[in-house]
A and B are shown apart, each in its own frame.
Chain A
Amino acid sequence: LKRAFRTIIIGLDGVPFSLIKELSEKQVMSSTRNLIKKGVFKQMDSSIPEVSSVAWSSIITGKNPGEHGIFGFTDISERTYQLSFPNFYHLKVPPFWEKRVGQRSIIINIPGTFPVRPLNGVHISGFVSLDLERSVYPPSLISKLTKLNYQVDVDSSKAHKSMDLFLNDLDKTLKARIDAYRLLWKEPDWQNFVLVFTGTDRLSHFLWEAYENENHLYHSYFLDYFQRLDKIIGEIAERIFEHDQLILLSDHGFELLEKEIHLNFFLKELGFLKIKPETKGDLTEIEFGTKAFALDPGRIYINLKDRYPKGSVKKRDYHKVREELIKAFSEWELEGKKVVKKVFKKEEIYQGPFLNQAPDLVLISNKGFDFKAKIKIKELWTKGIFTGKHTQDNAFLLTQRRVDEDIIGPKPSVFDICKIIEAKNSN
């Protein structure tokens, strides 16, 4: 009897290529090292901006934000300036498993896939999810997950109180996620299995410093966390059949955070953004005369007259204002260091029917700088509890089929993942 091949994807949210390379070489991740030896291991570009909701939406659809419609964790209502929160229902293109008609899929913890919708198989959504009732399909699975103490995400608010409390919750979340994967692996007749670990991203946000500094109190914890993940990677690698396709990947990378840079403060200082000094931190409070405002992480919107209620930029001045902004961002230096690595016009990075909803400019920060779009902040930069920040060009891809290299080329991007899945599917 010929067994049908299956696609298995293990996602390590926010894990950079450099970390996997280092920890596998140092034998902290020995199972991953074995997979690297046999497969194709590449540094990968993330989406722009490099946030999980955009990157994962691109990974599972193979499309860019101009086609799938997800530009960030937040978006803005053109009528009111109010923030909205795009979710799985706003994804305009079906994920790969919905296109593989007749196949059963087990989908666990992909960011941006809340709320779940019925499918042939099982779906547990990832960050940002509100409650298990809307995060789990089929509903009959909810009671089993509750018994496993499954929670969609670690409670990151604990890190703001006590790092030990946070790490305790991180351990519990990981254990329950592993238990859930083991339970669901036994489901019959599936062809697609996606398992994403998001604790890696949370750990890196708060404790990237601990990874880089061997004397840090939590350095060994950091390595131990990745060692535990490596064991699961090894366990899955042993469970797969000869013709199965195993893909390991991350959605973006990480690096040390030196300064949080507040884009709206910068725009205010340069006169592009006008807002009352006593603002509550809400974009609805912006005033007439505003030419541009920012959304997290580096999305710049031009306040066009026919687009926004307090729009102040006439259509004919759009390109002039955009060029002024590009010049300002390109020349921006902080303590002798360029702040912005690259400024993209929307049409340079996005194509598709939702291009008109895209930010007019997207910025990529230079090393160590993390762009924020806080409104009520009164300083250009701050340094808070976070020690790690996302990177755009340092995600990783590890696939076990050598021929995948021909499809993805020397530097793959998150948009290429569907290509290698589909190539396998058509074999």
Chain B
Amino acid sequence: MALAIETHKRALLKSISWRIFALTILGIISWIVTHSWIKVGLITIIYNLVQIFFFYLHERIWHKIKWGRIKHPLSEFDLNRELREEDKKIIEEQLKVLGYLD
């Protein structure tokens, strides 16, 4: 499996190009159906506003669905959190038997 890093610039450029692409398709279809530039404009504005709301709704619904999500045992490990007391005791014990601690 090839692993590559997506830079912020590349991701931003892709977002913009996809928006232009999607708007153009919507514009062409709307114009073919309506033959009115005013209607094309209205459809574009309304469609995009409605899309924002439904995209949010769709995301929240998927967020609650656990299916297909592999949970790694470290996923809840807080990087900034101190070790648990029981973890510390185990480490202390491991270091003690090798003479590193009292």
Contact = CB atoms under 8 A, between A and B. Distances in A.
Q: Do A and B come from one complex?
A: yes
A127 B94 contact: yes
B90 to A, nearest CB: 6
A159 B100 contact: no
B66 interface: no
A202 B98 CA distance: 8
Nearest to B93: A157
Contact of A296 (B72, B73, B79, B100): B100
Interface in B72-101: 72-74, 77, 79, 82-83, 87-88, 90-95, 97-101
Interface residues of A, number: 42
A85 B89 CA distance: 11
A419 interface: no
Contact of B3 (A120, A374, A376): A120
B82 A84 contact: yes
A144 interface: no
A281 B102 contact: yes
B98 A115 contact: no
A364 interface: no
Contact of B95 (A128, A160, A202, A376): A128
Nearest to A202: B98
Nearest to A386: B99
Contacts of A376: 102
Contacts of B3: 101-102, 120
B5 interface: yes
Interface string B1-20: 11111000000000000000
A120 B97 contact: no
Contacts of B91: 85, 128, 130
A375 interface: yes
Given A102-B2, A153-B94, A139 B72 contact: yes
A15 B14 CA distance: 53
Contact of A130 (B72, B87, B99, B101): B87
Contacts of A297: 100
Given A116-B74, A134-B74, A157-B93, A74 B100 contact: yes
B40 to A, nearest CB: 44
B95 A74 contact: yes
A133 interface: yes
B75 to A, nearest CB: 9
A134 B73 contact: yes
Contact of B74 (A117, A157, A160, A384): A117
A120 B5 CA distance: 13
A56 to B, nearest CB: 15
Contact of A156 (B90, B98, B101): B98
A374 B98 contact: no
Interface string A359-394: 000000000000010111100000010100000000
A101 B90 CA distance: 35
A183 to B, nearest CB: 20
Given A134-B74, A139-B72, A372 B97 contact: no
A422 B56 CA distance: 45
A316 to B, nearest CB: 34
Contacts of A89: 79
Contacts of A291: none
A63 interface: no
A87 B81 CA distance: 12
A364 to B, nearest CB: 17
A61 to B, nearest CB: 18
Q: Closest 5 A-B residue pairs measured CB to CB?
A: A281-B102, A156-B97, A157-B97, A133-B73, A374-B102
Interface of B: 1-5, 72-74, 77, 79, 82-83, 87-88, 90-95, 97-102
Given A130-B91, A260-B99, 9 more contacts: A89-B79, A101-B4, A102-B2, A102-B3, A104-B1, A115-B77, A118-B74, A297-B100, A372-B99
16 contacts: A83-B101, A85-B83, A85-B88, A87-B83, A101-B4, A104-B1, A118-B74, A128-B94, A130-B87, A133-B73, A139-B72, A153-B94, A156-B98, A296-B100, A296-B101, A375-B102
